[in-house]
Chains A and B, each alone.
Chain A
Amino acid sequence: MKIVWLQSGGCGGCTQSLLCHEPRPLFDEFRDAGIEFVWHPALSLDSGVDALALLDDCAEGRREFDALCVEGAMLRGPNGTGRFHLMAGSGRPLTEWVQRLASRAKWVFAIGSCTAYGGFSANTPGNPLEACGLQYDEQTPGGLLGARFRSGGGLPVVNIAGCPTHPGWVVDTLEKACLGDLQAEDLDEFGRPLLYAGGLVHHGCARNEYYEFKASAEKHSDLGCLMENLGCKGTQAHADCNLRPWNGNGSCLRGGFACIACTEPGFESPGHAFQETPKLAGIPIGLPTDMPKAWFVALAALSKSATPKRVRDNATVDQPVVLPAIRKKGGGK
C-alpha cells in the first residue's frame, strides 16, 4: 500500500502518536506489511518543488498511489476560499489538494477526530474557519468531500477518530485494508473501524470495581471511579483504550483523569466543563450507553449501599489504604 499523507488544521499529534507504535518500530512494521509512504510531511526527504511535483503527479494520475491519509481539519474559509491554509509553495488551498488526491485514491483515511469531524477548529464560536471533516460536519454527513463520496475501492472515508488516534488503530486499519479485508460493514455509522470502536472505553477500565460500587473519586488523583464527579465518559465513548493500552501501559483513566470521549464527533464542545460531571437531581445526565435511567438509579442505590469498606475508603485517596483481605486455607472465615 502506497500512502500519500497530508496535514492541515490539526496539531500533528496523530503522526506523533503513530510513531509510538509498539511492539515493533513503525517503520519496520510498515515495511514488512508492504506499506510505504510516497510522501509524509513530517518524515519524507523531499521538500519544496520536488515534493510539489510528486504530489502533482499523484493528483494527475501520473504516479500510482493507493491510500490518501489526511491529518487535520479541512479549513474552507474565509468565504469558501480555503485561504486559512494554502499549502506552502503551491499557493493552492490544501482543501483543493485533498479533493484532487481523494479522487484518485483507492482508500481515504481520516486520521484523527479533526479530520473525521472538524475538531477544535470547527468549534470556534461561529466557525469563522469554516472548518469541517473530510466527510462529516460533526455528526452530519457532508464535510469537504460530501456524503456521497466513495473512494476507488468503494468505501466512504474511513474515520480513524481519536484525539489523538492510537497507533494501533491506524496500523491495524491500514493492514486490514492491505489484506483486502476492509469492507463497509467493518465501519460503524460514523465511519469508524469497528476493530477499535466496536466497544467502549469502559471495557477493561482498571477502575471497574469502583464503578461497580459507585465508589467515586472526589478530586484529582483519587483512585475511585471518575464518572460521578469528574466528567468521565468512558461508559459512552467508543474505543478500546483500556484493552489496548497507550505508551506501554497507560490510558486516560489509568492516568487519573476523565475520558472526554475524544473519538466521538462533537466531543470538543460538551456543553459542560470537561472535568465535571453534569447532574440533574444528583444523577449524572450522561448515563452509560445502553443503560435505562431507572435501572441505573436503582442499581447505583443498591451498589452504594453494598460498597465494601476497602473500596469506599480507597476511592478518595491516591494510594490504597485498605488492601484486599487474604484468605488462608482452612482457617478462613
Chain B
Amino acid sequence: MTRIVVGPFNRVEGDLEVSLDLDDGRVGAAYVNSPLFRGFEQVLVGRPALDALAIVPRICGICSVAQSHAAALALADAMGLAPTPNGLLSRHLVTATENLADHLAHFYLFFMPDFTRPAYAGRPWHAGAVTRFTAMTGEAAAEVLAARTGFLRLMGLLAGRWPHSLALQPGGSTKAVSAAERVRLLSHLREFRSFLERRLFGDALQAVAGLASRDALLAWAGERDSDFAAFIRMALDLGLDRIGRADDAFLSYGAYGLFPAGSWQAGAGAELAPAAIAEDSRYAWLADGRPRHPAQGETIIAADKADAYTWCKAPRYGGQPFEVGALARQIVAGHPLLRDLVARDGGSVLARVVARLLELALVVPAMEAWVQALQPGEPYCMSGPVPDEASGVGLAEAARGSLGHWLSIRRGRIERYQIIAPTTWNFSPRDDGGMPGPLETALVGLPAGEAAPPTIQHVVRSFDPCMVCTVH
C-alpha cells in the first residue's frame, strides 16, 4: 500500500487536498483535507446581532446570499419576525439567482474542462470537447460568461450587487422593486432562458424538466446538438454513470417553497428532524469532545492535535454521514428522473451533474412566476426589535446543498454562532466511530496514481465543493 497526496484541486471554490491509500493502483482509503482555516464563528461572537448580516456573506464569495439568507432566517427566528409577501418573493429570486448562476458556472467553468485533458485524446469526442470546453479559451467560456453576467443583473436590481449584499433582512428585503424594474427583471430572465434553451439544452426548459427516467434521458440526448447532450454522451462513454457513489443518504432543508425539506435513504423518505444533526470534531484540528448539536457547538482551535487531518468538522444526521446538494434536493423532492438514476446506479457523477442542470430547467420558470407575483406598492420589509436574549435557527439551501446557521443572542449580542455548510457535509472527515464522509466513501475503489485516468477529478468536482464555506 502506498499513500499519495493529491492537490491542489483547482476549479473548486477554495483549496482542497486529498490523501489516498493506494492498493495496486486503486484507492483503498481516502482522507479529505480542507487545508485552510477561516475563523468566522469566532469573528461573529460578541458582535451586535444584526451585524451577522454584514459578516456572514463574506464567508463565501460564491454562496454569498445563501449565507445572508441563512442568517436572515436565524435572526427572524430569534426576533419572531416573518417577511412580507414581496420580501419572501424577493428572497426566493435572490437565492435562486445565485444558485442557478453557480450551477451554470460549475458546469462550464469547473466541471467540463476535465474532458479536454490529454489523457482522453483517443476518445472520439475529445476534439469537440477541446473546441467547446477548454478552460478559459474554449468557445463556450465567453458565451457562458456573457449569459451569467446578464443573469446576475437580476442581483443589481434585487440586491444592489453580488456578491456581498445586505439586501436580505429578517423581515424581507431592503430593495423595493419598482414597476419599471419588474419589467426589466422579466427581460433579463427571458435572455437567460434563451441561452439555456439554445446552447445548454437545445430544447425547451419544460421538455428537459419533464424527462422522467434514465431511458428517456438517453433517448433525448441521442445525437442532439447541445452542451448537456454532449456531456451525457461523454459521461456514458467514461462510465461516469456508475462511479462516485457515496452512501446514497440524502438531506435537504427545502428551497423556495418549491422543493420540500426532508431526508431520503434506502428508497424511503422522511421528514426533516433538525434535532438529529450533530457535529463531531475527532479528526479536525479543533478541540473535541462528544458530538454536539450545533446549537451547543464549539469551535476551538487545536492546531497540534495528533492524527487530525483537516479543518473541517464531521456533521452527522442521526449519526450517519449524509450527502447534500442539487441531487439530494431533487431526490427528496421526488423528481422521477433522479430517483430512477439513483435507483439504478446510486448517486453517481452523472446524477449529480444532471440534477444541477435539471434545476436550471425547473427553477427559471418559477422565477418568471415570482417576478410576475411581485406587487409594486406593497411593502418589502418588516422591522422589529432584537430581543436581549434569544436563539434562532436558519436552514437554507445553497447551490451546493443544505446550509444551517444556529445562533444565540445575549444582551443583544451574539453569544454563539455555529454554521454547517454544504461541503462540510459532503467533504466531512471520519467521525469518532471511524465512519468516512461522503467523498471519502465515493473515492474508494477508483483508479488513481501516476498512470491512472483523471477519474477522481470528475468525482471530486461532481460534488461542486465550496471549501471556503467548509472551513468558515
Contact of B156 (CB < 8 Å), options: A14, A220, A250, A273: A250
B77 within 8 Å of A (CB atoms): no
Cα(A255)–Cα(B149), bound, Å: 18
Interface string of B37-70 (1 = CB under 8 A from A): 1111011011010110111001111101000000
Binary A-proximity of B252-282 (CB < 8 A = 1, otherwise 0) = 0000000000000000000000000000000
Please tell me which one of the listed residues B136, B148, B173 contacts residue A20 in the complex, with CB atoms under 8 A apart: B148
Number of interface residues of B (CB under 8 A): 89
A-B contacts counted at CB < 8 A amount to 274
Q: Does B192 contact A (CB under 8 A)?
A: no
B10 contacts the other chain (Cβ, under 8 Å)? Answer: yes
Q: Contacts A20-B162, A27-B142, A248-B156 known; A256 to B167 CB distance under 8 Å? A: yes
B-facing mask of A3-39, CB < 8 A → 1, else 0? 0000111111111110111100111100100000101
* Smallest CB separation, A18 vs chain B (Å): 10
Distance in angstroms from B443 CB to nearest chain A CB is 14
State whether A48 and B145 are in contact (beta carbons under 8 Å apart), knowing that A11-B64, A20-B162, A37-B136 are contacts in the complex.
Answer: no
Chain B stretch 223-242: residues in CB contact (< 8 A) with chain A: none
- Smallest CB-CB separation from B48: which chain A residue? A273
Whether A51 touches B8, Cβ cut-off 8 Å, given contacts A84-B36, A85-B35, A128-B39, is yes
Q: B149: shortest Cβ distance to chain A, in Å?
A: 5
Selecting from A59-67, A117-125, A292-300, the interface stretch reads A117-125
Q: Do A85 and B149 contact each other (CB < 8 Å), given the known contacts A14-B61, A128-B301?
A: no
A116 nearest CB across to chain B (Å): 14
**B380 to chain A: which residues have CB within 8 Å?**
221, 318
Check if B116 is an interface residue, CB within 8 A of chain A: yes
Are B42 and A125 closer than 8 Å at their CB atoms? Answer: yes
Asked if residues B163 and A13 are in contact (CB atoms below 8 Å), the reply is: yes
Which residues of A lie under 8 Å from residue B172 when comparing CB positions?
Answer: 220-221
- B51 near A12 with CB under 8 A, answer no
A318 touches B60 (CB 8 A): no
A248-286 Cβ-contact flags toward B at 8 Å (1 or 0): 111111111110101000001000011110000000000
Complex interface residues of chain B between 1 and 22 (CB less than 8 A to chain A)? 5-17
A250–B61 CB distance below 8 A: no
Q: In the complex, which of the residues A26, A48, A318 contacts B8, with contact meaning CB atoms closer than 8 Å? A: A48
User: Within 8 Å of chain A (Cβ to Cβ): is B155?
Assistant: yes
B209 within 8 A of A: no
Give A165 to B263 CA distance when docked, in angstroms.
39
Binary per-residue interface labels of chain A (228-255) against chain B in the complex, 1 for a CB within 8 Å, 0 otherwise: 0000000000000000011111111111
Q: Are A258 and B137 in contact (CB under 8 A)?
A: no
A221 pairs with B468, CB closer than 8 A = no
Asked whether B113 is an interface residue with its Cβ less than 8 Å from the other chain, the reply is yes
Bound form: Cα–Cα A245–B152 in Å: 13
Quick check: is B296 within 8 A (CB to CB) of the other chain? no
List residues of B whose CB falls within 8 A of some A CB. 5-17, 33, 35-40, 42-43, 45-46, 48, 50-51, 53-55, 58-62, 64, 105, 109-110, 113-114, 116-117, 134-137, 141-143, 145-146, 148-149, 152-167, 169, 171-176, 178, 188, 301, 303, 376-377, 379-381, 383, 457, 468
Residues of A that sit less than 8 Å from B by CB: 7-17, 19-22, 25-28, 31, 37, 39-48, 51-52, 75, 78, 83-91, 94, 119-121, 123-125, 128-129, 163-164, 219-221, 223, 245-258, 260, 262, 268, 273-276, 318-319
Known A-B contacts: A88-B16, A250-B159, A257-B165. Give 11 more (CB < 8 A).
Answer: A37-B136, A41-B8, A42-B110, A43-B136, A88-B17, A220-B169, A246-B160, A247-B156, A260-B166, A275-B50, A319-B176
